[in-house]
Amino acid sequence: MSTEMTTRGYLTAALVPLGEQWKRMRRILTTKVVSQAKHQWFYAKRTEEADHLDGGPGLEEEEHVYAIFTILHYLYSFCASDFVPCLRWKFDLDGHEKAMKKVVEIIDKYHNPIIEERIRQWRIGFKKEIEDLLDVFIILKDGASNPPLSTNEINAQIREIMIATVDNSSNAVEWAIAEMINQPEILEKAIEELDRVVGKERLVQESDFSQLNYIKACAREAFRLHPIAPFNVPHVSISDTTVANYFIPKGSHVLLSRLGLGRNPKVWPDEPLKFKPERHLREDGSEVVLTENDFRFISFSTGRRGCLGVTLGTSMTVMLFARLLQGFTWTAPPNETKIDLSKAEDSLALAKPLIAVAKPRLAEHVYRNL
């Protein structure tokens, strides 16, 4: 999950991820949107969404998610106009601009009416209480009591947050469950921890997370072994620097290999290609976290350009993962003994969406309370 401003013209509209404007947007996100105070304030909203895990998407949801994942596909892809910007509008050699325009129009079709109506409600005084992040963006004021964000900037930031949160957690959870079905002993350990910490008479809550070290170790292992993309989002070196034995000139485009880091046998000598959550448990029994500050793999990045929403991303990942494991038993489909862990040809996702048998493992009244 990364809230770095992207460079695609259609994606961020009027936003330019450079200089004072970039710093202003990052400051707003850090202090007003993904701060620790706001994280605590939106606890009830996160709990409400966690209780909505059951049920499937409709046609509108499918179209919306398709558009977001298409943007992510192009975000990670090579585009000639990123390096020669004058090619963007005249030639569109890669066809990326046409594709991006189409999917952003889909997103705007759903977002714009909601954003414009919410702005109108605040302007006429119909709405007076903050309920969600959109309200936070709308009522922001600068030192002169003026709104610091235009409607286009609010729209761009909403897109950014959705793009930053939609793939990393879901990809890690899908891979983790697939791996654990193939290694039932790991699944049993995770279930044992959930039953011991939470029990079977209520569902997992965020207050349980600190005690779910094995669950978080499984999530970390999924981030390590099965990253969402081969590389991180490109960064540009702002000055000459040397990292290890490599000299990086100012202006260089820097990409880190997620696979190279997470599967490096010098860093992970104990069967680096095998899913082994125990490697993330600490000998002193201290709490396991999903962040990796030493860049042994990339989960939420680190440093000044690290993910602003790491706390939110952690909560989303652990809640989704823990609820799915607690609520259901998971086995391979009938007539199959294992899940096919083959990767897709054009991405690092599973070649085939995970299909497994899920059976309720809690009392009926626990689900009925949702």
* pLDDT tens digit sequence for 78-106: 777 777 777 776 777 778 888 989 999 99
Q: Is 97 exposed, middle or buried (0-12, 13-18, 19+ CB in 10 A)?
A: buried
Radius of gyration of the chain (CA): 22
pLDDT at position 96 = 84
pLDDT at position 9 = 37
Beta-carbon contacts of residue 134 (< 8 Å; ≥ 6 apart): 114, 115, 118, 154, 158
Helix residue ranges, H only, the chain: 9-12, 19-28, 36-41, 43-50, 59-75, 87-90, 96-123, 133-139, 151-165, 168-182, 184-197, 213-225, 258-262, 310-327, 364-368
Q: Is 180 exposed, middle or buried (0-12, 13-18, 19+ CB in 10 A)?
A: buried
Smallest CA-to-CA distance from 322 within 162, 176, 201, 164 is with: 176
Residues of the chain with pLDDT under 70: 1-22, 55, 89, 301-306, 308, 369-370
pLDDT at position 11 = 36
Per domain, the residue ranges of the chain are 9-165, 168-368
pLDDT at position 302 = 66
pLDDT at position 73 = 84
Q: 168-368 has which CATH code?
A: 1.10.630.10
Whats the size of the chain, residue-wise? 370
* pTM of the full structure: 0.84
* pLDDT tens digit sequence for 23-41: 777 777 777 777 788 888 8
Contacts of residues 205-211 at CB distance under 8 Å and 24 or more positions apart, as own/partner, are 205/47, 206/43, 206/46, 206/47, 206/315, 206/319, 208/322, 209/314, 209/315, 209/318, 209/322, 210/287
To the question of whether residue 307 is assigned a binding role by annotation, the answer is: yes
